[in-house]
Amino acid sequence: MALAAPAAFAQTVGGGDSGGGGGGSLSDTIAAPSPQSVPAPFLSTAPGSLLGGNPTLPGTATGVRVGPLGQQIDQLTAGPLIAAGGWTFTPSIGAQEIWFSNSGTPSQSPAAYVMTNIAPAVVITGNTPSVQANISYNPDFMFFSGGLGSDIAQNLNASATATLIPETLFLDLRGFATQLTATGGYTPGTVNTTNPAYMTQITSFIITPFVRHQFGSFGTGEVGYSLGRTAFATPGGGPATATPGLNAFYNSTALSQQEYVAFKNGDDFGQVIASTLILAEQDTASGAAPSGHNNLALQTLGYQLTPRFALLGQIGYEDIVYSGLPPVRIQDAVWSVGFQYTPTPGSQITAGYGHRDGVDAPFLSAAYALTARSTLYATYSETISTGATAIQGGVAGSTVDPVGNSLDPTTNAPLLVANGFYALMPGIFRMQNLSITETTTFDWATLSFSLQQTLMKEISQFANVPGFSQNGTYGILSLTRQVSQDISANAALSYGVLYNGVIPGQGTAIVPNGNSNIYSATLGLTDQLTRTISGSIMYQVSNFSQRSANTNLLQSMVMLSVNKTF
pLDDT, tens digit (0-9, with 9 covering 90-100), for 27-69: 222 222 222 345 556 434 433 333 333 322 222 222 222 233 3
| Reported confidence tier of residue 171, pLDDT bands at 50, 70, 90 | very high
Query: pTM here?
Result: 0.82
- In the predicted model, is pLDDT for residue 401 greater than 80? yes
pLDDT of residue 257: 94
Predicted local confidence at residue 113, as pLDDT: 84
pLDDT at 238: 56
- End-to-end, the C-alpha distance of the chain in Å comes to 42
Residue 380, amino acid: Y
Domain parsing of the chain, residue ranges: 13-58+70-565
**Nearest alpha-carbon partner for 278 in 311, 256, 300, 248:** 300
Nearest to 345 by CA among 10, 8, 22: 22
Cβ atoms of 139 and 157 closer than 8 Å: no
d(CA 83, CA 122): 13
pLDDT digits (tens, 9 = 90+) for 525-549: 999 999 999 999 999 998 888 766 6
pLDDT at 110: 56
The residue-averaged pLDDT of 456-463 equals 83
Beta bridge partners of 144: 115
**pLDDT above 90 as % of the chain:** 51
- Determine the 3-state secondary structure of 267 from DSSP: helix
Phi, psi torsion values for 403, nearest 5 degrees: -110, 10
Phi (first) and psi of residue 350, to 5 degrees? -120, 125
Q: According to the model, what pLDDT value does residue 1 have?
A: 52
Average pLDDT over the chain, rounded to an integer? 79
Residue 208 has pLDDT above 90, yes or no: yes
CB within 8 A of 202, min separation 6: which ones? Answer: 176, 177, 178, 179, 180, 230, 231, 232, 391, 418
Give the separation between CA 280 and CA 260, rounded to whole angstroms: 6
pLDDT at residue 107, rounded to an integer: 52
**Closest C-alpha to 395, from 127, 126, 152, 208:** 208
Residue 198 gets the label, from left (phi > 0), alpha (psi -120 to 50) or beta, of alpha
Cβ–Cβ under 8 Å, residues 36 and 129: yes
Cα distances from 439 to residues 62, 367, 409, 488, in angstroms, run: 9, 11, 18, 18
> Whole-angstrom Cα distance, residue 204 to residue 396?
10
Residue pair 171/208 in contact (Cβ under 8 Å)? The answer is yes
User: Is the pLDDT reported for residue 551 higher than 80?
Assistant: no
| Res 270: pLDDT | 92
Condensed to tens digits (0 to 9), the pLDDT of residues 188-199 reads 877 765 667 778
Amino acid letter at 406? S
For residues 261 and 222, what is the distance between their CA atoms, to the nearest angstrom?
Answer: 6
Residue type for position 198: Y
> Looking at domain 13-58+70-565, which of 2.40.170, 3.30.519, 2.20.100, 2.30.30 is its CATH number?
2.40.170
**Confidence category of residue 71, pLDDT binned at 50, 70, 90:** very low
**If we measure between CA atoms, which residue out of 73, 18, 75, 83 comes closest to residue 51?**
18
The enclosing H or E element of 519 equals strand 515-528
Burial class of residue 301, CB neighbours in 10 A (0-12, 13-18, 19+): middle
DSSP assignment letter at 73: H
Q: If DSSP codes are grouped into helix, strand and coil, which group holds residue 313?
A: strand
**206 and 228 Cβ atoms separated by less than 8 Å:** yes
- DSSP character for 216? T
CB 289 within 8 A of CB 388: yes
Question: Which residue type is seen at 516?
Answer: S
Write out pLDDT tens, residues 413-432: 888 888 888 888 778 889 99
Instruction: Say what the pLDDT of residue 288 is.
Output: 63
Question: What mean pLDDT do residues 503-516 have?
Answer: 49
Preceding peptide of 466 cis, ω within 30°: no
